[in-house]
Structure 1
Amino acid sequence: MVATAPPVVDSPVYEPFEGRTPMTTVEDEALTTAWAAWHADREAALRHPHGWLSVTALHWLDGTPRAFPGVPGEWSTTGTAARGSGGAEHTLAEAASTLLDGEDGIKVEVLRRTGRYGLRVRDPRSPDLAAFTGVPAFEVRPRWVVDAEFEAFDQPRPIVVGAARDGLEHRFQALGHARFVLAGESQRLLVHESGDQVQVLFHDATNGTTTAPWRTLFADRPAGDRLRLDFNRAVNLPSAFTPYGTCPVPPQGNVVTVPVEAGERRYR
């Protein structure tokens, strides 16, 4: 197992959160053990030779064929496809990407964002990857596990949010709202679909100081009208690790009104 960065103990005392039955000591220990394994997997993924810390460039394509360092041949776009050396075309759905072999162990990610095609270079010799020593995190605390009331929409609703890079946007299917209470304050967050899970993008008062500008967490799909959110597993998006991320920002109003001193801390 990959060694984890020790959790940082730096959290004020809050009153117990409503909406969750207090855990026993055994359950507390199980929560911490499960989190440690999850965190180790998280850091192992970031250490992958072609993971987010390996990204060294993002090139947007236009109609003029151009060469880029580490990328074989010349690349351009027809508007509906990315065109590589030899005229090979790559047609992608919106928000999709595919990995191709580059030069000297580099992987070239062909991507499409908001109708634009680009190339992201993933180099296993990246200085950011070499310097990585782990992701700092707050101490795991049971009070950050919340059993929220889930208010489902009659039908999923399409939403559009901005991105870490200007001019881009992301589209999701919103499923409903999670309602819960933290430190005596009512919270309401929009929940959207993410594969076989759900996702919550959120802001809170720690953003930009002890945490990234925004964070996200994933959860199992709601069981009826209940949705368990574990803020101990709130994570930084790729844009917190690399300037070449195109990550979505939280929907308007997805703000937790108390400082969420749980989950991953600011990376740098």
Structure 2
Amino acid sequence: MTATVGAADTDLAGEWAAWHAEREDVLRAPHGWLSLTGLHWLVSEPLAYQDLPGTWRSRDGGADITAHVADGVVVDGAVVDGTARVEPVDGKPGVFVTVGERRVEVIRREEHVALRVRDPQAPTRQRFSGVPAFPVDASWVVTGRFEPWDAPQRIDVDTVIDGLGFHPTAVGTVRFTVGGADQELVALAGQEEQLKLHFRDGTSGHSTYGGGRTVSTDVPAADGTVRIDLNRTTNLPCALSAFATCPLPPAGNVVTVPVEAGEKTPV
């Protein structure tokens, strides 16, 4: 007997394939997450790092970069000849400094400042062949209910770096049922009014990344209903690189059944 595939399931799989191909294209970008080759925490003393020209130091939540014209260090479109100042924002993407074909991202995490070196020739980028994922299944598309808090709250979570915290904005809770079990997760503010759910589940540390994965929901409806397609659950950058500083899920954000949907641990 030949199994039949409904049009809705075919559409779901096709839309997922296009979405996942676009995500992998972003990862393959010359200065994307796969290009990281180093993470260096700056100190107050000016030092040289890796094979970067000039010296770099942390001061008052920012970085001072000292270089000569011949070093080819570019900040804000200008070649540094002397000392240049960059001021990244805590918890946000960093300020990019150009060094040849590389981009040095100066980041701030709490009071700490670091350099993330992005090199298009990074081995992780050169050997990338895609992110493995579970088969797309319509049963992993669920409807939940978003219950907003009276006001967004800045919460504290741990990160993959011991002793380093992260402070995302939480906006409420999302309740849904999956695998026959009721779930409740703290929802983080996402892009364009979407919600971001960062969670661990029964696959974490086994077939999926141990630090948890994230999924962006649809924009909640006026009555709070929200569509969650767990097939689009993704890894954090730390699953792809040892030089990222990813947050861990909010306390208690654990789905009580294995979510065999979305991305698996990269190989």
The two structures share one fold, judged by TM-score above 0.5: yes
Asked if the contact 1:79–1:116 (Cα under 8 Å) also holds between the matched residues in 2, the reply is: no
Q: Secondary structure at the match of 1:62?
A: coil
Deviations 1:174-231 (A, max 9, x none): 1111111112211001101023232110000111111111111112331121111111
1:72 partnered with 2:53: yes
Secondary structure in 2 matching 1:68: coil
Runs of 4+ deviating beyond 6 Å = none
> What secondary structure sits across from 1:28 in the alignment?
helix
Deviation at 1:130, TM superposition (A): 1.1
Q: Once the two structures are aligned, what percentage of the paired residues are identical?
A: 43
Match of 1:207 among 201, 204, 213: 204
CA positional deviation for 1:245: 0.9
Structure 1 stretches lacking a partner, 5+ long: 1-23
Query: 1:82 is matched with which residue?
Result: 63
SS at match of 1:108: strand
Alignment partners' CA distance in 1, 2:52 and 2:91: 21
Q: Contact between 2:106 and 2:116, CA under 8 Å: does it hold in 1?
A: yes
3-state SS, counterpart of residue 254 of structure 1: coil
Q: Counterpart of 1:248?
A: 247
Contact 2:208 2:264 in 1 (8 A): yes
Instruction: List per-residue Cα deviations over 1:93-116 (Å, max 9, x = no partner).
Output: 21131111113x111111111121
Identify the residue that residue 161 of structure 2 maps to in structure 1: 165
Q: Secondary structure at the match of 2:10?
A: helix
Q: Displacement, 1:72?
A: 2.8
Within a 5 Å distance, the mapping from 1:1-268 to structure 2 comes to: 25-85=6-66, 86-96=82-92, 97-103=94-100, 105-196=101-192, 197-213=194-210, 214-224=212-222, 225-268=224-267
For 2:112, give the aligned amino acid: R
Distance in 2 (alpha carbons) for counterparts of 1:80 and 1:252: 28
Which deviates the most, 240-249 or 193-202? Answer: 193-202
Contact map agreement 2:87 2:95 (CA 8 A) in 1: no
Aligned mates of 1:120, 1:176 — CA distance in 2: 32
> Which structure carries more relative contact order (alpha carbon 8 Å, separation 6+)?
1
Q: Structure 2: which 5+ runs fail to align?
A: 67-81
C-alpha separation between the residues in 2 aligned to 1:56 and 1:155?
A: 39
Give 3-state SS (helix, strand or coil) of 1:253's partner. coil
Q: Find the aligned partners of 2:144 and 2:90 in 1 and give their Cα distance.
A: 32
Mapped contact 1:70–1:121 kept (Cα < 8 A): no
CA distance in 2, matches of 1:248, 1:77: 22
- In 1, the alpha carbon distance for the partners of 2:36 and 2:158 equals 22
d(CA) in 1 for partners of 2:185, 2:12: 24
SS at structure 2 position matched to 1:71: coil
Measured in 2, the distance between the counterparts of 1:218 and 1:70 equals 38
SS at match of 2:163: coil
Supply the AA of the counterpart residue of 1:44.
D
Q: Deviations over 1:98-145 (max 9, x none)?
A: 111113x11111111112111111111111111111100000001101
CA offset digits 1:139-165 (Å, max 9, x no partner): 000110111011111211221111111
The amino acid that maps onto 1:65 is P
